[in-house]
Structure 1
Amino acid sequence: MSDVKLFTYADLEEHKSRNSLWLTIHKKVYDVTAFLDEHPGGDEVLLEEAGRDGTEAFEDVGHSDEARDMLLKMYLGNLNPAEAAKNTTTANGKAQSGTPAPSAARFLMPIMVILAWWVYRQYFA
């Protein structure tokens, strides 16, 4: 039997403040409270991801190996596999389960609309 502690999104929701800030990256749960003032990107970056899955934000920045090693000191346990399978979305549209929000679709949709409009004008107007 493993000694790794398992957490749920409800557990993470309880730790979304400056006084206690947890998040999950790659299905591992970290307490980043002590790192708030030291984070090179500012504390607001961590506060925005507080209490949920910060994998996409973490990977989008392209953190160094040193930054990844720092996570080892903040490790609390793993996200419960049943929770990791959930695909819940927050109010701002970010996926919590590690599934990336459809950012490419949001970028391509306006281009596709403009292209469709242009094709319509060229062939049907």
Structure 2
Amino acid sequence: MATKIITLEELREHTTKDSLWVLLHGKVYDVTKFIDEHPGGDEVILSESGKDATEAFEDVGHSDEARGHLPGMHVGDFEKGASVKAKAYQSTASAAAVENAVEQTSNAFYFVPLAVLVAYFAWRFYS
């Protein structure tokens, strides 16, 4: 059976809590059912929707268990040669403002999932 090819338009149609797809390593996954269980919270995944989330996914250092969930969520492969770019900003001032906001909140996006993992392993160790 051939793998379904997902276009950029299709990917961008699924960017809400009710229907959420993410692009990781050229493959598209439907994470809608998992969003409430995500240790980092739904905002983390929602912020990466509609674009390539591979770098964010790898930067956090997801476990083998997390990666094991992906095959069951696979929707299809992203179209070859397609480019996923963030929307262009109208001015450099607004781009700088967005960059500042990202810098201020990005630490929380990395430390919250890490803290959850540490708490989980501590709980497993002591129980």
Same fold (TM over 0.5): yes
- Partner residue of 2:35? 36
Deviations 1:68-93 (A, max 9, x none): 1111111011001121xx2633358x
Structure 2 unmatched ranges of 5 or more: 90-127
Count of aligned pairs:
90
The 4+ residue runs of structure 1 with deviation greater than 6 A are: none
TM-score (norm 2): 0.66
Q: Is the 2:22–2:50 contact (alpha carbons within 8 Å) kept by the matching residues of 1?
A: yes
Please give the residue correspondences for 1:62-77 in structure 2 after superposition, counting only pairs within 5 Å. 62-77=61-76
Any unmatched runs of 5+ in structure 1? 93-125
Distance 2:62 2:79 in 1: 25
Identical counterparts, % of pairs: 53
Letter in 2 for 1:43: D
Normalised by the size of structure 1, how large is the TM-score?
A: 0.66
Counterpart-to-counterpart distance in 2, 1:70 and 1:18: 18
Alpha-carbon RMSD = 1.8
**Higher radius of gyration, 1 or 2:** 1
Higher helix share: 2
